[in-house]
Amino acid sequence: MAHHDLQTVSHECGDCPIRHRAVCARCEADELQRLEQIKYYRSFQAGQTVIWSGDRMDFVASVVTGIATLTQTMEDGRRQMVGLLLPSDFVGRPGRPTAAYDVTATTDLVMCCFRKKPFEELMSSTPHIAQRLLEMTLDELDAAREWMLLLGRKTAREKIASLLAIIARRDTHLKLKSAKGSIVFDLPLTREEMADYLGLTLETVSRQVSALKRDGVIELEGKRHVIVRDFDKLLEETGDDTDGGYLV
Amino acid sequence: MAHHDLQTVSHECGDCPIRHRAVCARCEADELQRLEQIKYYRSFQAGQTVIWSGDRMDFVASVVTGIATLTQTMEDGRRQMVGLLLPSDFVGRPGRPTAAYDVTATTDLVMCCFRKKPFEELMSSTPHIAQRLLEMTLDELDAAREWMLLLGRKTAREKIASLLAIIARRDTHLKLKSAKGSIVFDLPLTREEMADYLGLTLETVSRQVSALKRDGVIELEGKRHVIVRDFDKLLEETGDDTDGGYLV
DNA sequence: CCGCGGGTTTGATCTGCATCAAGGCCGACA
DNA sequence: TGTCGGCCTTGATGCAGATCAAACCCGCGG
């Protein structure tokens, strides 16, 4: 099959990761059409549960707008967040029938869903989708392992700084450290959610956020609005290697 | 292309995960031959470093015999193990030029390596290899997230019990709980390595192992040889859901 | 205008694990 | 056979973060 002009085409929902490398506009058009056919949108209100751990999950999806969390809960109620889904992040595992975690909308949320069965078929007929998914999954794995270091070895203050740095980075699309200018963002999580993410209690989170503010690392307007005037200063608090870039 | 008799063929290194689903013996033979061509073995002594984080990594590999660990280290020396590689586990990420973690042999180790470039080519021409890798990576991601719960929310005693349960399970290939009979195995890790895995200090590990022994949850012969007479009793100590199976 | 409730802060106290320190065990090697 | 060096255990003490307990802030509905 001859390939024609090279260009990137993406199906219409913004940053959705289920899009193709630049291959061949014609072949892509085909696949995109098939994607469109199995795709639908779902909206959730802040606080709503998207799916419970163990439930049958017959779709895969990507976040269009809003924020969702993945959490695990122990019988006695101890909770650990194991993932934070921002726009363009992907949820769901082809080949797995049930959800492995609770997925919850922490803000109003729109997801772009693909019915799983046809998605899997599409996947096996178009190899680069599997490769794209593999790449994304490897990224998630790296992030999870980075988080293991945080949970196992960082102090409360370092944990808070790391979380703030990650959110700041994600919000502003800076991949590495950016020295210039202030970064301003709204915390998408309550203190309790931050605690569940960091393996702390909400009181400790509150105290450490106050401490970072007192020490001039961050500024706060209200409880959620954060201003970082000197990102490097924040990075120093994370305990991470600062010179080698973020993901070594 | 016509498919012939269905059967599973595997290239000759034991449990290596880079093997094929049952497809077609003839097609497989082809691919296996290509795999053989790019494959080689490497041996390491206990304690040797296989590769340092950040180094160029021009192969992917699977563990044939022995045990290796993945660790991350902070500048000040705090260490967190982020993966434990037992026979048949896979290391390396297609599409990534450098290693993301230190890989160390904790016992004598034999790995079956594939040169990365040709492996990637093979991967793009035989889609089910990418799918197999995706599946394995998803499994690793699940394990990493399970571990995040452990690091963030479990007590020292629960952490030890969980580690013992995982090793016992891996050693004996039981997928879920098995009530019957004693399980006997050797700890493949020193107390310090266990500590690095669990986000504890070696002293705490030692104390909690002693405590589990004192409380009759495990028996010890020497320092490394563990006997679990009642696996359920051990599972109760892990804090995990015991009824729903292991991976919910 | 008040009262209510969810999220947050702050203080006082407690505790599980880290830290510091001393020995014990045991295999290797002279 | 002694002793040296890894690894492990055990004890004493300290401290970061958990827990318990108030009170504050602020948007919202009455």
Q: Mean pLDDT for chain A?
A: 86
User: CB distance B239–A93 less than 8 Å?
Assistant: no
Q: Cβ(A81)–Cβ(A104) under 8 Å?
A: no
pLDDT (mean) for A118-125: 87
Nearest-CA distance A118 → chain B (Å): 16
User: CB distance B95–A241 less than 8 Å?
Assistant: no
Residue B73's pLDDT band (boundaries 50, 70, 90)?
A: very high
Please name which of A53, A52, A47 lies closest in space to residue A68, comparing C-alpha atoms: A47
Chain C: bases < 7 Å from a protein Cβ: 7-12, 16-21, 26
Contacts of B78 in chain A (CB under 8 A): 153
Q: Which residue does chain A place closest to B244, by CA atoms?
A: A54
Retrieve residue B135's tokens: 């599946």
Nearest-CA distance A70 → chain B (Å): 10
Least CB-CB distance to A134: which of B54, B133, B145? B133
ipTM reported for the complex, 2 dp:
0.90
Nearest-CA distance A127 → chain B (Å): 6
Domains and their CATH numbers in chain B: 25-145 (2.60.120.10), 154-238 (1.10.10.10)
Nearest-CA distance B97 → chain A (Å): 11
Q: Please determine, for residue B146, whether its predicted confidence score (pLDDT) is greater than 50.
A: yes
Q: Cβ(A127)–Cβ(B124) under 8 Å?
A: yes
User: CB distance B131–A131 less than 8 Å?
Assistant: no
Q: Mean pLDDT for chain B?
A: 85
Count CB-CB contacts under 10 A for residue A117: 12
User: CB distance B137–A138 less than 8 Å?
Assistant: yes
User: CB distance A53–B80 less than 8 Å?
Assistant: no
Q: Cβ(A109)–Cβ(A50) under 8 Å?
A: yes
Could you tell me which residues come within 8 angstroms of residue A54 by beta carbon, excluding any fewer than 6 positions away?
A: A98, A99, B244, B248
Q: Cβ(A112)–Cβ(A39) under 8 Å?
A: yes
Residue with tokens 């680069």: A128
The three state secondary structure string of chain B is CCCCCCCCCCCCCCCCCCCCCCCCHHHHHHHHHHHHHHEEEEEECCCCEEECCCCECCEEEEEEECCEEEEEECCCCCEEEEEEECCCCEECCCCCCECCCEEEECCCEEEEEEEHHHHHHHHHHCHHHHHHHHHHHHHHHHHHHHHHHHHHHCCHHHHHHHHHHHHHHHHHCCCCCCCCCCEEEECCCCHHHHHHHHCCCHHHHHHHHHHHHHCCCCEEECCCEEEECCHHHHHHHHCCCCCCCCCC
Q: Please determine, for residue B220, whether its predicted confidence score (pLDDT) is greater than 70.
A: yes
A–B interface: beta-carbon pairs under 8 A? 127
Q: Which residue does chain A place closest to B243, by CA atoms?
A: A75
Q: Please determine, for residue B243, whether its predicted confidence score (pLDDT) is greater than 80.
A: no
pLDDT digits (tens, 9 = 90+) for A211-240: 999 999 999 999 999 999 999 999 999 999
Burial B99-138 (b: 16+ CB within 10 A, else e): bbbbbbbbeebbbbbbebeebbebbeebbbbbbbbbbbbb
Q: Which residue does chain B place closest to A134, by CA atoms?
A: B134
From the CA of A225 to the C1' of C13: give the distance in Å: 32
Evaluate if the CB of A155 falls below 7 Å from strand D.
yes
Contacts of A120 in chain B (CB under 8 A): none
From the CA of B207 to the C1' of D12: give the distance in Å: 15
Residue B2's pLDDT band (boundaries 50, 70, 90)?
A: very low
pLDDT (mean) for A2-28: 50
pLDDT digits (tens, 9 = 90+) for B93-141: 888 899 999 999 999 999 999 999 999 988 888 877 888 889 899 999 9
pLDDT digits (tens, 9 = 90+) for B179-203: 567 899 999 999 999 999 999 999 9
Count CB-CB contacts under 10 A for residue A167: 21
Could you tell me which residues come within 8 angstroms of residue A21 by beta carbon, excluding any fewer than 6 positions away?
A: A8, A128, A132
Evaluate if the CB of A145 falls below 7 Å from strand C.
no
From the CA of A224 to the C1' of C1: give the distance in Å: 29
Residue A128's pLDDT band (boundaries 50, 70, 90)?
A: confident
Contacts of B248 in chain A (CB under 8 A): 53-54, 100
Evaluate if the CB of B210 falls below 7 Å from strand D.
yes
CA closest to C1' of C26 belongs to B222
Evaluate if the CB of A192 falls below 7 Å from strand C.
yes
